[in-house]
Structure 1
Amino acid sequence: MEKLIITVALVGAEVTREQTPYLPLSPREIADEAKKVRDAGASIVHLHMRDQFGNPSQDKALFAEAISYIQTETDLIIQVSTGGAVGMTAEERVQPVTLA
C-alpha cells in the first residue's frame, strides 16, 4: 500500500451552519471532530476558528482551547490558519501561529 498523508480542514474560512448543519464551531466541537477524523486515518488537522456567533475569528484564546483539546486527545499534527476573514489585517491573521 502506498503511504498517504491526509490533512483535514474541519471548518472552512467562510462556511456557515446554514450551508451545512454539521459544521463544528466551538473549540470542543472542533476537537470532537478532530478525534473522528484521526480515527478515520487523518494525520493533520488544519484549524479555522469561529467566535460565539459563528463568525471567523483569529482569537488566540479560541485557538489555544481547541489546540489543548486536540493535543490531549489525539496525536494529530495541528496546522493553524492565517486565513482569518475578509478585512482582517496581517497582524490579526498571524496571531495563532505561535500556539501550535
Structure 2
Amino acid sequence: NKPLEIGLCNKAYQDYFNKTQLQERFSEFFPTVYNLSNIIPITIQTLPKSISISKHVPVIRESILAFYSGMRVTSVASLIPIVEDILNSIIEDA
C-alpha cells in the first residue's frame, strides 16, 4: 500500500470545489472559529505569558477591537510590524 500523498488530497479537494466555492466555505467557517468569544480569552490570558508577544498585547488588543469595529485595514496594518517583531525575536532566540 502506497501512502496517500498530501498533494493528491489537495488536488482532489480543488477538483471537487472551485476557487470561489473554497473562498465562500472559508468565509463561512473562519468567523465561527475566530470570534470574539474565542479571541478575547486568548488575548487576555495566554498572550501575556509569551516572552515574544507579551509586550505587544496592548496593540494586539486594540487591533482586535478595531477589526471587529469595521476598521479591518487599519487593524491588519497595525499588526504587520508586530508580527515581524515577534518572528524576529523567535528567530533570534532559536
- The structure with the largest strand share of the pair is 1
Larger gyration radius, structure 1 or structure 2: 2
- Higher RCO, 1 or 2 (CA under 8 Å, sep at least 6)? 1
What is the TM-score normalised by the length of structure 1? 0.27
- The structure with the largest helix share of the pair is 2
What is the TM-score normalised by the length of structure 2? 0.28
